């Protein structure tokens, strides 16, 4: 997605060979117009496929997920990373390790929010080692929902996440695929148009 | 906002005299079409006022904030509740106690995301005792940003939050004002049309 890549080129900050900061438009600051374009692009990629719900993870997945839900006309549910007073029992849960935050989080979705046979599209902001996406896949499996695909805003293609997900048979739709962050430079995977 | 009140009437679950669960459309499941309508309603209420940025708090503020940003054509920033590896220094921070989660959170916004003189509209999903909104107000003050108003999706008008904010001189725009949750019933504040 050229608009997104351009945004990454101009506003992304390479913090190390593995860490890209995109806090101006995706995971602290949010560019709503770009999010809408992201929703339209996911909808385009899913053309012809039936999706009944978008599933994401708080917090940075919410903006692209809600815009995709708006374009596709389907509801969204976001997995929570912590239990609250109003969301405690009857939960599908899975465990996700965040390398960025260096902590293990239990993520959960209420039983009432995912049903057997639902056709879900999973969305997350980043795909690196795939931990978050695999946690959402685990929850979907517990619910016996059907995973139509996994939509990623920014894939770090030099890490294993996409490979792991594809090996398990899932379609991964990444809007920007980064081949390398070496030498402080963002290099995208060359795509065949 | 009648559409929102109708949604609360039909899908909200009264858990106690103080707790309303709206997890089907706002803070676990999200209804993107309703969020868009909420964005349009905030934009209508702000007509004639200049806003340069929407400021909210993760996670449940993000969906209404992003839709409002889309309608107004302005960027969004969400305060984070925890520090991450890519967001550590140069932060405005404030402390917010959550009665729902029974915990104190440090919330933070990067210096680079709020500037002196910016005209911000603060959005949050719930207003009860006003802790979260006051935390965002505190951050805005540190940044010397101008607070155009505070937009709330659901106000628990039987708690003190709106009063506290108004006493400090802020305009509060609540889309649904709940007078009482007693006897398991949602009673809205009667508004003059």
Q: Look at A80 and B59 and tell me if their CB atoms are within 8 Å.
A: yes
β-bridge mates for residue B92, sequence order: B109
Mutate to test the interface with A, among B29, B103, B123 (most CBs of A within 10 A): B29
- Per-residue HEC secondary structure of B14-79 comes to ECCCCCEECCCCCCCEECHHHHHHHHHHHHHHCCCCCCCEEEEECCCCHHHHHHHHHHHCCCEEEE
Q: Which of A15, A19, A32 sits opposite B76 (nearest CB)?
A: A32
User: What DSSP designation does A53 have?
Assistant: E
Q: Which two tokens stand for residue A127?
A: 């795909």
Please give the residue of chain A at the shortest CA–CA distance from B21.
Answer: A86
How far apart are alpha carbons A84 and B168 in whole angstroms? 30
Span A49-76, pLDDT tens digits: 999 999 999 999 999 999 999 999 999 9
Scanning B89-118 for CB atoms below 8 A from A yields: 100-102, 109-110, 112-113
pLDDT in single tens digits along all 193 residues of chain B: 999 999 999 999 999 999 999 999 999 999 999 999 999 999 999 999 999 999 999 999 999 999 999 999 999 999 998 755 555 689 999 999 877 777 888 999 999 999 999 999 999 999 999 999 999 999 999 999 999 999 999 999 999 999 999 999 999 999 999 999 999 999 999 876 5
Q: Which residues lie below 8 Å from residue A89, measured CB to CB, with a gap of 6+?
A: none
Contact between residue B113 and residue B79 where contact means Cβ atoms under 8 Å apart = no
The H or E element spanning position A123 is strand A119-127
How far apart are alpha carbons B100 and A87 in whole angstroms? 10
Quote ipTM for the complex. 0.94
């Amino acid at each position: 997605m050229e608009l997104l890549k351009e945004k990454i080129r101009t506003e992304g900050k390479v913090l190390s060979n593995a860490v890209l900061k995109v806090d101006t438009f995706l995971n602290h600051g949010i560019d709503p117009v770009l999010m809408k374009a992201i929703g339209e692009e996911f909808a385009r990629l899913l053309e012809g496929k039936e999706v009944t719900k978008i599933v994401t993870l708080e917090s940075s997945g919410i903006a692209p997920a809600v815009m995709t839900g708006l374009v596709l006309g389907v509801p969204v549910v976001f997995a929570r990373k912590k239990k609250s007073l109003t969301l405690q029992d009857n939960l599908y849960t899975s465990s996700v390790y965040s390398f960025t935050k260096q902590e293990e989080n239990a993520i959960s979705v209420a039983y009432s929010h995912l049903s057997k046979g639902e056709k879900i599209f999973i969305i997350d902001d980043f795909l690196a080692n795939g931990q978050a996406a695999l946690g959402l896949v685990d929850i979907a499996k517990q619910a016996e929902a059907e995973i139509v695909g996994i939509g990623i805003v920014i894939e770090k293609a030099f890490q294993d996440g996409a490979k792991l997900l594809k090996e398990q048979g899932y379609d991964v739709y990444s809007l920007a695929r980064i081949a390398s962050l070496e030498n402080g430079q963002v290099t995208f995977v060359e795509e065949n148009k």
